[in-house]
Amino acid sequence: MKKILFLIVAIATAAFAGEGDSMVQAYSVVAAGMGLGLAALGGAIGMGHTAAATIAGTARNPGLGGKLMTTMFIALAMIEAQVIYALVIALIALYANPFL
């Protein structure tokens, strides 16, 4: 945990070194990185729970394995779509910054 905190402080120090408009860009970089990281973490946790539930359901009733896999892939696509939306917002904040 200390290493992660140190890394965040080091990145923030380099990002906040500027003045004026570069401060807005620095805040945008930090916000985009943290937002995308949290979205990826949430997506990974959701995908893990989905896979675990599918495996447990298939173990209980092997005859429903095909239907469960289809439903799992649809759920994984929806979870991944949320992470991709976060990526799009992060890229907008970085390259087409509306705050400048």
Per-10-residue mean pLDDT of the chain, 100 residues long, equals: 75 65 77 88 95 95 93 95 92 80
User: Residue 25 and residue 75: Cα distance in Å, rounded?
Assistant: 35
* pLDDT at 17 (0 to 100): 64
* pLDDT at 68 (0 to 100): 94
Chain CA centroid to CA 65, Å: 29
* pLDDT at 16 (0 to 100): 65
* pLDDT at 14 (0 to 100): 64
* pLDDT at 96 (0 to 100): 84
* pLDDT at 52 (0 to 100): 96
CATH fold, domain 2-95, is F1FO ATP Synthase (1.20.20)
pTM (two decimals): 0.72
E strand map for the chain: none
